[in-house]
Amino acid sequence: MALGCNVAIVTNDDVSVHASFTSRQSIAFTLLADAMAEITEVLRITNPQFRKENKCYGVALPGILAIDPKGAVTHRFITRDYRDRPSPEAVLTVLRKGASG
């Protein structure tokens, strides 16, 4: 079942890092450079472990957000530990239920 979703990744890396990564890994989805933490702050996913003075400030909490065409976050799958990410299967199960309901 098609969910009508697009995939994008937000990192605090700059555009040149993204370009190199997508070239090496043949990535076909969008990578968003958020060096100033503007996106992570608006979405409330900035990792609180790092203060603004820290060079790592702006690193997002690991997770997945589902955002509708109007820009509203409909689902949040966020964890505090990068080693404990939501599985794609669990996310798709929830999104499929929402799409069919």
67 or 4: which carries more pLDDT confidence?
67
In this predicted model, what pLDDT tens digit does every residue of 21-72 receive, in sequence order?
888 998 888 889 998 899 999 999 999 999 989 988 889 998 888 888 888 8
Residue 1 pLDDT class (50, 70, 90 cuts): very low
Instruction: Specify the pairing of strand 30-33 against strand 8-11.
Output: parallel
Spatial contact of 37 and 60, defined as CB atoms under 8 Å apart: no
Which pLDDT band, with edges at 50, 70 and 90, does 16 fall under? very high
Structure confidence at residue 87 (pLDDT): 87
- Domain range annotation of the chain: 8-100
Tens-place pLDDT, residues 66-93: 888 888 888 899 988 888 888 889 989 9
Choose the CATH number for 8-100 among 3.90.1150.10, 3.40.30.10, 1.10.760.10, 2.30.110.10. Answer: 3.40.30.10
Count of other CB atoms within 10 angstroms of residue 83: 6
Between CA 93 and CA 72 the distance in angstroms is: 20
- Closest listed residue to residue 6, CA positions, set 101, 97, 95: 95
The pLDDT value recorded for residue 38 is: 93
Per-residue model confidence (pLDDT) at position 2: 62
